[in-house]
Chain A
Protein backbone atom coordinates (compact mmCIF):
# COMPACT_ATOMS: atom_id res chain seq x y z
CA UNK A 1 0.00 0.00 0.00
CA UNK A 2 1.29 3.42 -0.86
CA UNK A 3 0.63 6.78 0.71
CA UNK A 4 -2.30 8.82 -0.48
CA UNK A 5 -2.91 12.54 0.02
CA UNK A 6 -6.43 12.46 1.45
CA UNK A 7 -7.16 16.01 0.31
CA UNK A 8 -6.49 15.31 -3.35
CA UNK A 9 -6.19 11.50 -3.47
CA UNK A 10 -2.81 12.03 -5.15
CA UNK A 11 0.03 9.53 -4.81
CA UNK A 12 3.64 10.52 -4.10
CA UNK A 13 5.69 11.37 -7.18
CA UNK A 14 9.05 9.62 -6.89
CA UNK A 15 10.39 11.12 -10.13
CA UNK A 16 9.88 14.68 -8.96
CA UNK A 17 11.26 13.79 -5.54
CA UNK A 18 14.39 12.47 -7.20
CA UNK A 19 14.74 15.79 -9.05
CA UNK A 20 14.75 17.68 -5.76
CA UNK A 21 17.18 15.21 -4.15
CA UNK A 22 19.54 15.56 -7.13
CA UNK A 23 19.71 19.30 -6.44
CA UNK A 24 20.31 19.20 -2.70
CA UNK A 25 21.75 15.77 -1.87
CA UNK A 26 19.97 12.88 -0.21
CA UNK A 27 20.96 13.84 3.33
CA UNK A 28 18.96 17.02 3.17
CA UNK A 29 15.38 15.85 3.48
CA UNK A 30 16.11 12.45 5.01
CA UNK A 31 18.19 13.58 7.99
CA UNK A 32 15.26 15.66 9.26
CA UNK A 33 13.66 14.27 12.43
CA UNK A 34 11.00 16.99 12.60
CA UNK A 35 12.31 18.84 15.67
CA UNK A 36 10.66 22.00 14.25
CA UNK A 37 13.52 24.28 15.24
CA UNK A 38 13.42 25.76 11.74
CA UNK A 39 9.75 26.69 11.90
CA UNK A 40 9.92 28.05 15.41
CA UNK A 41 12.47 30.68 14.38
CA UNK A 42 11.07 31.44 10.92
CA UNK A 43 10.06 35.12 10.48
CA UNK A 44 8.01 34.32 7.38
CA UNK A 45 6.05 31.73 9.36
CA UNK A 46 4.90 34.52 11.65
CA UNK A 47 3.40 36.49 8.75
CA UNK A 48 2.86 34.17 5.81
CA UNK A 49 2.44 30.82 7.57
CA UNK A 50 5.22 28.97 5.81
CA UNK A 51 6.32 25.95 7.86
CA UNK A 52 9.78 24.84 6.75
CA UNK A 53 9.59 21.51 8.58
CA UNK A 54 6.38 20.66 6.73
CA UNK A 55 8.03 21.44 3.41
CA UNK A 56 10.89 19.09 4.29
CA UNK A 57 8.38 16.42 5.22
CA UNK A 58 6.40 16.81 2.00
CA UNK A 59 9.60 16.38 0.00
CA UNK A 60 10.43 13.29 2.05
CA UNK A 61 7.02 11.83 1.30
CA UNK A 62 7.16 12.80 -2.36
CA UNK A 63 4.25 15.24 -2.55
CA UNK A 64 6.27 17.67 -4.61
CA UNK A 65 3.76 18.91 -7.16
CA UNK A 66 1.44 20.37 -4.54
CA UNK A 67 4.28 22.22 -2.82
CA UNK A 68 5.51 23.69 -6.08
CA UNK A 69 2.07 24.86 -7.14
CA UNK A 70 0.91 26.14 -3.76
CA UNK A 71 2.91 29.35 -3.83
CA UNK A 72 4.08 28.74 -0.25
CA UNK A 73 7.69 28.27 -1.38
CA UNK A 74 7.75 31.94 -2.48
CA UNK A 75 6.98 33.23 1.03
CA UNK A 76 10.48 32.46 2.38
CA UNK A 77 12.45 35.63 3.17
CA UNK A 78 15.85 33.91 2.78
CA UNK A 79 16.96 34.95 6.27
CA UNK A 80 18.86 31.63 6.52
CA UNK A 81 18.03 31.11 10.20
CA UNK A 82 16.70 27.59 9.44
CA UNK A 83 19.96 26.67 7.73
CA UNK A 84 21.96 28.04 10.65
CA UNK A 85 19.94 26.36 13.38
CA UNK A 86 19.08 22.93 11.95
CA UNK A 87 20.82 20.32 14.16
CA UNK A 88 20.79 17.84 11.26
CA UNK A 89 22.22 20.10 8.54
CA UNK A 90 19.04 19.71 6.50
CA UNK A 91 18.87 23.42 5.63
CA UNK A 92 15.17 23.79 4.72
CA UNK A 93 16.01 26.97 2.78
CA UNK A 94 18.14 24.89 0.38
CA UNK A 95 15.14 22.64 -0.25
CA UNK A 96 12.94 25.69 -0.78
CA UNK A 97 15.42 27.03 -3.36
CA UNK A 98 15.52 23.65 -5.12
CA UNK A 99 11.71 23.60 -5.19
CA UNK A 100 11.67 27.14 -6.63
CA UNK A 101 14.11 26.07 -9.35
CA UNK A 102 11.88 23.07 -10.07
CA UNK A 103 8.81 25.32 -10.21
CA UNK A 104 10.54 27.32 -12.95
CA UNK A 105 11.58 24.15 -14.80
CA UNK A 106 8.07 22.68 -14.70
CA UNK A 107 6.53 26.03 -15.65
CA UNK A 108 4.52 26.35 -12.45
CA UNK A 109 3.38 29.81 -11.36
CA UNK A 110 6.41 31.91 -10.46
CA UNK A 111 6.19 35.45 -8.98
CA UNK A 112 6.81 38.13 -11.59
CA UNK A 113 9.57 39.83 -9.57
CA UNK A 114 11.87 36.81 -9.77
CA UNK A 115 11.42 36.45 -13.53
CA UNK A 116 11.97 40.17 -14.02
CA UNK A 117 15.38 39.83 -12.37
CA UNK A 118 16.38 37.41 -15.12
CA UNK A 119 15.18 39.63 -17.96
CA UNK A 120 16.82 42.70 -16.43
CA UNK A 121 20.18 40.92 -16.13
CA UNK A 122 19.88 39.76 -19.73
CA UNK A 123 19.21 43.31 -20.83
CA UNK A 124 21.67 45.30 -18.73
CA UNK A 125 23.72 42.91 -16.60
CA UNK A 126 22.05 44.20 -13.43
CA UNK A 127 18.62 43.93 -11.80
CA UNK A 128 18.29 47.72 -11.59
CA UNK A 129 19.06 50.69 -13.79
CA UNK A 130 20.45 53.93 -12.29
CA UNK A 131 17.75 55.73 -10.35
CA UNK A 132 17.62 59.43 -9.62
CA UNK A 133 18.11 59.91 -5.89
CA UNK A 134 15.67 62.27 -4.22
CA UNK A 135 16.87 64.09 -1.12
CA UNK A 136 14.82 64.97 1.98
CA UNK A 137 14.46 68.44 0.45
CA UNK A 138 13.14 66.77 -2.73
CA UNK A 139 16.12 67.71 -4.87
CA UNK A 140 17.07 65.20 -7.56
CA UNK A 141 20.55 63.76 -8.01
CA UNK A 142 21.90 61.42 -10.65
CA UNK A 143 25.12 59.40 -10.36
CA UNK A 144 26.89 61.91 -12.58
CA UNK A 145 25.70 64.87 -10.54
CA UNK A 146 27.01 63.19 -7.40
CA UNK A 147 30.39 62.77 -9.06
CA UNK A 148 30.24 58.98 -9.12
CA UNK A 149 32.07 57.12 -11.92
CA UNK A 150 30.40 55.43 -14.88
CA UNK A 151 28.84 52.03 -14.28
CA UNK A 152 30.49 48.89 -15.64
CA UNK A 153 28.81 47.12 -18.58
CA UNK A 154 29.17 43.42 -19.29
CA UNK A 155 29.97 42.42 -22.89
CA UNK A 156 27.49 41.14 -25.49
CA UNK A 157 29.11 37.71 -25.13
CA UNK A 158 28.04 37.70 -21.48
CA UNK A 159 24.38 37.63 -22.51
CA UNK A 160 24.70 34.52 -24.65
CA UNK A 161 26.64 32.71 -21.93
CA UNK A 162 24.12 33.74 -19.29
CA UNK A 163 21.36 32.30 -21.49
CA UNK A 164 23.39 29.11 -21.81
CA UNK A 165 23.75 28.93 -18.01
CA UNK A 166 19.98 29.36 -17.64
CA UNK A 167 19.31 26.44 -19.95
CA UNK A 168 21.21 23.94 -17.77
CA UNK A 169 20.08 22.88 -14.34
Chain B
Protein backbone atom coordinates (compact mmCIF):
# COMPACT_ATOMS: atom_id res chain seq x y z
CA UNK B 1 0.00 0.00 0.00
CA UNK B 2 1.17 3.51 -0.86
CA UNK B 3 -0.04 6.23 1.50
CA UNK B 4 0.54 9.92 2.09
CA UNK B 5 1.75 10.75 5.60
CA UNK B 6 1.00 13.84 7.69
CA UNK B 7 3.35 14.35 10.65
CA UNK B 8 1.84 17.46 12.27
CA UNK B 9 3.76 19.72 14.72
CA UNK B 10 4.84 17.60 17.68
CA UNK B 11 6.33 14.61 15.85
CA UNK B 12 8.66 16.34 13.36
CA UNK B 13 9.69 19.15 15.74
CA UNK B 14 10.18 17.26 18.99
CA UNK B 15 9.20 13.58 18.99
CA UNK B 16 11.80 12.29 16.52
CA UNK B 17 11.75 8.74 17.92
CA UNK B 18 8.20 8.30 16.64
CA UNK B 19 9.03 9.61 13.17
CA UNK B 20 12.18 7.45 12.98
CA UNK B 21 10.39 4.28 14.06
CA UNK B 22 7.35 4.80 11.81
CA UNK B 23 9.64 5.49 8.84
CA UNK B 24 11.64 2.37 9.62
CA UNK B 25 8.92 -0.12 10.48
CA UNK B 26 6.02 0.57 8.09
CA UNK B 27 7.87 0.22 4.74
CA UNK B 28 9.15 -3.18 5.89
CA UNK B 29 5.54 -4.22 6.38
CA UNK B 30 4.53 -3.15 2.89
CA UNK B 31 3.37 0.41 3.60
CA UNK B 32 5.13 2.98 1.42
CA UNK B 33 5.08 6.49 2.91
CA UNK B 34 4.85 9.64 0.78
CA UNK B 35 5.68 12.94 2.55
CA UNK B 36 3.52 16.00 1.84
CA UNK B 37 4.78 19.41 0.80
CA UNK B 38 3.48 22.76 2.04
CA UNK B 39 1.40 21.34 4.87
CA UNK B 40 1.01 23.12 8.22
CA UNK B 41 -0.36 22.58 11.73
CA UNK B 42 -3.51 20.38 11.75
CA UNK B 43 -5.60 23.09 13.40
CA UNK B 44 -6.38 21.55 16.76
CA UNK B 45 -4.16 24.01 18.70
CA UNK B 46 -6.36 26.91 17.54
CA UNK B 47 -9.71 25.22 18.11
CA UNK B 48 -10.11 27.12 21.38
CA UNK B 49 -9.34 30.45 19.71
CA UNK B 50 -11.34 30.24 16.50
CA UNK B 51 -13.30 27.27 15.19
CA UNK B 52 -13.26 28.63 11.65
CA UNK B 53 -9.46 28.90 11.61
CA UNK B 54 -9.27 25.34 12.95
CA UNK B 55 -11.47 24.03 10.14
CA UNK B 56 -9.48 25.97 7.57
CA UNK B 57 -6.16 24.48 8.71
CA UNK B 58 -7.51 20.93 8.94
CA UNK B 59 -9.20 21.04 5.55
CA UNK B 60 -6.23 22.70 3.87
CA UNK B 61 -3.97 19.83 4.86
CA UNK B 62 -6.54 17.29 3.68
CA UNK B 63 -6.82 19.12 0.34
CA UNK B 64 -3.01 19.01 -0.08
CA UNK B 65 -3.08 15.27 0.61
CA UNK B 66 -5.89 14.77 -1.93
CA UNK B 67 -3.90 16.66 -4.54
CA UNK B 68 -1.28 13.88 -4.58
CA UNK B 69 -3.91 11.57 -6.03
CA UNK B 70 -3.31 9.06 -3.26
CA UNK B 71 -6.39 7.55 -1.67
CA UNK B 72 -4.98 7.10 1.84
CA UNK B 73 -3.44 9.37 4.44
CA UNK B 74 -1.58 8.14 7.51
CA UNK B 75 -1.87 10.51 10.47
CA UNK B 76 0.31 9.15 13.31
CA UNK B 77 -0.67 11.89 15.81
CA UNK B 78 -3.94 11.42 17.75
CA UNK B 79 -4.64 15.15 17.85
CA UNK B 80 -4.13 15.60 14.10
CA UNK B 81 -6.21 12.49 13.45
CA UNK B 82 -9.05 13.93 15.53
CA UNK B 83 -8.72 17.28 13.81
CA UNK B 84 -9.04 15.71 10.35
CA UNK B 85 -11.86 13.40 11.44
CA UNK B 86 -13.84 16.36 12.78
CA UNK B 87 -13.29 18.47 9.68
CA UNK B 88 -14.31 15.56 7.43
CA UNK B 89 -17.40 14.96 9.56
CA UNK B 90 -18.58 18.57 9.73
CA UNK B 91 -17.88 19.28 6.07
CA UNK B 92 -19.70 16.17 4.89
CA UNK B 93 -22.79 17.24 6.81
CA UNK B 94 -22.89 20.91 5.93
CA UNK B 95 -22.68 21.96 2.30
CA UNK B 96 -22.55 25.68 3.17
CA UNK B 97 -19.66 25.19 5.55
CA UNK B 98 -17.82 23.22 2.90
CA UNK B 99 -18.28 26.06 0.41
CA UNK B 100 -17.11 28.60 3.00
CA UNK B 101 -13.91 26.66 3.74
CA UNK B 102 -13.29 25.83 0.10
CA UNK B 103 -13.52 29.51 -0.83
CA UNK B 104 -10.65 30.13 1.61
CA UNK B 105 -8.67 27.21 0.15
CA UNK B 106 -9.20 28.65 -3.31
CA UNK B 107 -6.65 31.40 -2.46
CA UNK B 108 -3.96 28.76 -2.96
CA UNK B 109 -5.79 26.93 -5.73
CA UNK B 110 -6.77 24.13 -3.38
CA UNK B 111 -10.09 22.29 -3.09
CA UNK B 112 -11.29 19.74 -0.57
CA UNK B 113 -13.29 17.04 -2.31
CA UNK B 114 -13.75 14.57 0.53
CA UNK B 115 -12.12 11.70 -1.32
CA UNK B 116 -9.29 10.79 1.05
CA UNK B 117 -9.35 8.08 3.71
CA UNK B 118 -7.40 8.62 6.90
CA UNK B 119 -5.58 6.14 9.11
CA UNK B 120 -3.96 6.25 12.53
CA UNK B 121 -0.93 4.14 13.49
CA UNK B 122 -3.09 1.65 15.38
CA UNK B 123 -5.68 0.92 12.69
CA UNK B 124 -3.06 1.05 9.93
CA UNK B 125 -1.24 -1.80 11.66
CA UNK B 126 -4.31 -3.61 12.97
CA UNK B 127 -6.67 -3.33 10.00
CA UNK B 128 -4.39 -2.83 6.99
CA UNK B 129 -1.08 -4.57 7.73
CA UNK B 130 -2.83 -7.19 9.91
CA UNK B 131 -1.73 -9.91 12.30
CA UNK B 132 -0.25 -12.37 9.82
CA UNK B 133 2.18 -9.90 8.21
CA UNK B 134 3.22 -8.50 11.58
CA UNK B 135 3.85 -11.91 13.09
CA UNK B 136 5.79 -13.05 10.03
CA UNK B 137 8.14 -10.07 10.46
CA UNK B 138 9.06 -10.91 14.06
CA UNK B 139 12.60 -12.08 14.80
CA UNK B 140 12.58 -11.71 18.56
CA UNK B 141 9.68 -12.62 20.83
CA UNK B 142 8.75 -10.29 23.67
CA UNK B 143 7.51 -13.14 25.83
CA UNK B 144 7.65 -12.48 29.56
CA UNK B 145 7.02 -8.72 29.35
CA UNK B 146 3.98 -7.24 31.09
CA UNK B 147 3.07 -3.98 29.36
CA UNK B 148 0.46 -1.28 29.84
CA UNK B 149 -1.23 0.39 26.87
CA UNK B 150 -2.23 4.04 26.56
CA UNK B 151 -4.42 4.99 23.58
CA UNK B 152 -4.76 8.76 23.94
CA UNK B 153 -8.17 10.41 24.40
CA UNK B 154 -8.37 11.69 20.85
CA UNK B 155 -7.68 8.27 19.36
CA UNK B 156 -10.87 6.80 20.77
CA UNK B 157 -13.31 9.68 21.33
CA UNK B 158 -15.81 10.94 20.27
CA UNK B 159 -17.20 7.76 18.72
CA UNK B 160 -20.01 9.77 17.07
CA UNK B 161 -17.60 10.88 14.31
CA UNK B 162 -15.89 7.51 13.94
CA UNK B 163 -12.72 6.77 15.88
CA UNK B 164 -9.96 4.18 15.82
CA UNK B 165 -11.25 1.89 18.58
CA UNK B 166 -13.99 1.53 21.21
CA UNK B 167 -14.32 4.68 23.38
CA UNK B 168 -14.69 2.83 26.69
CA UNK B 169 -12.99 -0.50 26.09
CA UNK B 170 -10.31 -0.16 23.41
CA UNK B 171 -8.49 -3.41 22.58
CA UNK B 172 -6.59 -2.98 19.30
CA UNK B 173 -3.34 -1.64 20.79
CA UNK B 174 -3.47 -4.37 23.45
CA UNK B 175 -3.82 -6.99 20.74
CA UNK B 176 -1.00 -5.43 18.72
CA UNK B 177 1.22 -5.74 21.81
CA UNK B 178 0.18 -9.35 22.37
CA UNK B 179 0.90 -10.24 18.72
CA UNK B 180 4.56 -9.63 19.60
CA UNK B 181 4.45 -12.16 22.45
CA UNK B 182 4.23 -9.71 25.36
CA UNK B 183 1.32 -9.53 27.75
CA UNK B 184 -0.86 -6.43 27.73
CA UNK B 185 -2.78 -6.30 30.95
CA UNK B 186 -5.68 -3.95 31.51
CA UNK B 187 -5.58 -1.57 34.50
CA UNK B 188 -8.13 0.77 36.12
CA UNK B 189 -6.36 3.96 34.96
CA UNK B 190 -6.18 2.80 31.32
CA UNK B 191 -8.49 5.54 30.01
CA UNK B 192 -6.98 8.35 32.11
CA UNK B 193 -5.94 11.45 30.16
CA UNK B 194 -2.24 12.49 29.92
CA UNK B 195 -3.12 16.17 30.45
CA UNK B 196 -1.10 17.47 27.48
CA UNK B 197 -3.67 20.01 26.32
CA UNK B 198 -3.59 21.68 29.73
CA UNK B 199 0.03 22.70 29.07
CA UNK B 200 -1.30 25.81 27.31
CA UNK B 201 -3.05 27.05 30.45
CA UNK B 202 -2.27 24.95 33.56
CA UNK B 203 1.25 23.50 33.51
CA UNK B 204 1.33 21.88 36.94
CA UNK B 205 -2.04 20.22 36.54
CA UNK B 206 -0.93 18.80 33.20
CA UNK B 207 2.10 17.20 34.86
CA UNK B 208 -0.10 15.95 37.71
CA UNK B 209 -2.38 14.17 35.21
CA UNK B 210 0.61 12.40 33.63
CA UNK B 211 2.39 11.76 36.93
CA UNK B 212 -0.58 10.13 38.63
CA UNK B 213 -1.15 7.81 35.71
CA UNK B 214 2.54 6.82 35.59
CA UNK B 215 2.59 6.22 39.33
CA UNK B 216 -0.49 3.99 39.14
CA UNK B 217 1.06 1.94 36.33
CA UNK B 218 4.39 1.70 38.15
CA UNK B 219 2.64 0.49 41.32
CA UNK B 220 1.06 -2.32 39.33
CA UNK B 221 4.48 -3.75 38.37
CA UNK B 222 4.31 -3.18 34.65
CA UNK B 223 7.56 -3.43 32.69
CA UNK B 224 6.64 -0.43 30.58
CA UNK B 225 4.02 1.79 29.00
CA UNK B 226 3.26 1.64 25.28
CA UNK B 227 1.98 4.79 23.58
CA UNK B 228 0.96 5.86 20.06
CA UNK B 229 0.25 9.58 20.51
CA UNK B 230 3.20 12.02 20.41
CA UNK B 231 1.66 14.45 22.90
CA UNK B 232 0.99 11.65 25.38
CA UNK B 233 4.50 10.27 24.83
CA UNK B 234 5.98 13.70 25.50
CA UNK B 235 4.03 13.89 28.77
CA UNK B 236 4.94 10.37 29.92
CA UNK B 237 8.48 10.02 28.57
CA UNK B 238 10.21 13.35 27.95
CA UNK B 239 8.54 15.07 30.90
CA UNK B 240 8.65 12.12 33.32
CA UNK B 241 11.01 13.98 35.67
CA UNK B 242 8.70 17.01 35.74
CA UNK B 243 5.73 14.70 36.33
CA UNK B 244 7.58 13.08 39.23
CA UNK B 245 8.57 16.31 40.93
CA UNK B 246 5.08 17.76 40.49
CA UNK B 247 3.39 14.85 42.24
CA UNK B 248 6.30 14.33 44.67
CA UNK B 249 7.01 10.70 43.76
CA UNK B 250 9.87 8.76 42.26
CA UNK B 251 9.01 7.67 38.74
CA UNK B 252 11.14 5.34 36.63
CA UNK B 253 8.79 3.70 34.17
CA UNK B 254 10.02 2.87 30.66
CA UNK B 255 7.78 4.53 28.08
CA UNK B 256 8.01 3.86 24.37
CA UNK B 257 6.09 4.06 21.11
CA UNK B 258 4.39 0.95 19.79
CA UNK B 259 6.36 1.36 16.56
CA UNK B 260 9.58 1.20 18.61
CA UNK B 261 8.39 -1.96 20.38
CA UNK B 262 7.42 -3.51 17.05
CA UNK B 263 10.82 -2.54 15.60
CA UNK B 264 12.61 -4.24 18.51
CA UNK B 265 10.61 -7.41 17.85
CA UNK B 266 11.48 -7.13 14.15
CA UNK B 267 15.14 -7.08 15.10
CA UNK B 268 15.84 -3.51 13.97
CA UNK B 269 18.79 -1.73 15.62
CA UNK B 270 17.86 0.39 18.63
CA UNK B 271 19.27 3.68 17.28
CA UNK B 272 17.37 3.32 14.02
CA UNK B 273 14.18 3.23 16.10
CA UNK B 274 15.24 6.32 18.05
CA UNK B 275 15.45 4.37 21.30
CA UNK B 276 18.43 6.50 22.35
CA UNK B 277 16.09 9.49 22.33
CA UNK B 278 13.58 8.23 24.91
CA UNK B 279 14.16 10.06 28.19
CA UNK B 280 12.45 7.46 30.39
CA UNK B 281 14.56 4.46 31.53
CA UNK B 282 13.92 2.23 28.50
CA UNK B 283 17.28 0.46 29.09
CA UNK B 284 15.57 -1.51 31.85
CA UNK B 285 13.08 -2.81 29.35
CA UNK B 286 15.68 -3.46 26.64
CA UNK B 287 17.75 -5.52 29.08
CA UNK B 288 14.73 -7.69 29.86
CA UNK B 289 14.17 -8.33 26.15
CA UNK B 290 17.86 -9.12 25.71
Contacts and interface: CB of A to CB of B under 8 A. Distances in A.
A38 to B, nearest CB: 13
Contact of B279 (A118, A128, A136, A153): A136
Contacts, number: 183
User: Which of under 10, 10 to 19, 20 to 34, or 35 or more describes the interface residues of A?
Assistant: 35 or more
B128 interface: no
B53 to A, nearest CB: 4
Interface string A152-165: 11110110111011
A119 B45 CA distance: 11
A146 B274 contact: yes
A78 B153 contact: yes
Contact of B53 (A135, A148, A162): A162
B16 A129 contact: no
Interface string B176-213: 00000000000000011101011111100110110000
Interface stretch (A27-35, A56-64, A109-117): A109-117
Interface string A126-154: 11111101111101010100101101111
B39 to A, nearest CB: 5
A80 interface: yes
Contacts of B20: 146, 148
B46 A118 contact: yes
Contacts of B200: 111, 113-114, 116-117
A97 B82 CA distance: 15
B219 interface: no
B113 interface: no
A17 interface: no
Given A97-B47, A114-B200, A121-B46, A79 B193 contact: yes
Interface stretch (B7-15, B130-138, B141-149, B259-267): B7-15
A75 interface: yes
B201 A114 contact: yes
Contacts of B208: 47
20 contacts: A77-B206, A78-B154, A83-B160, A84-B167, A97-B51, A113-B199, A114-B46, A126-B9, A128-B13, A135-B277, A136-B281, A143-B16, A148-B20, A152-B35, A152-B39, A157-B108, A161-B56, A164-B107, A165-B50, A166-B50
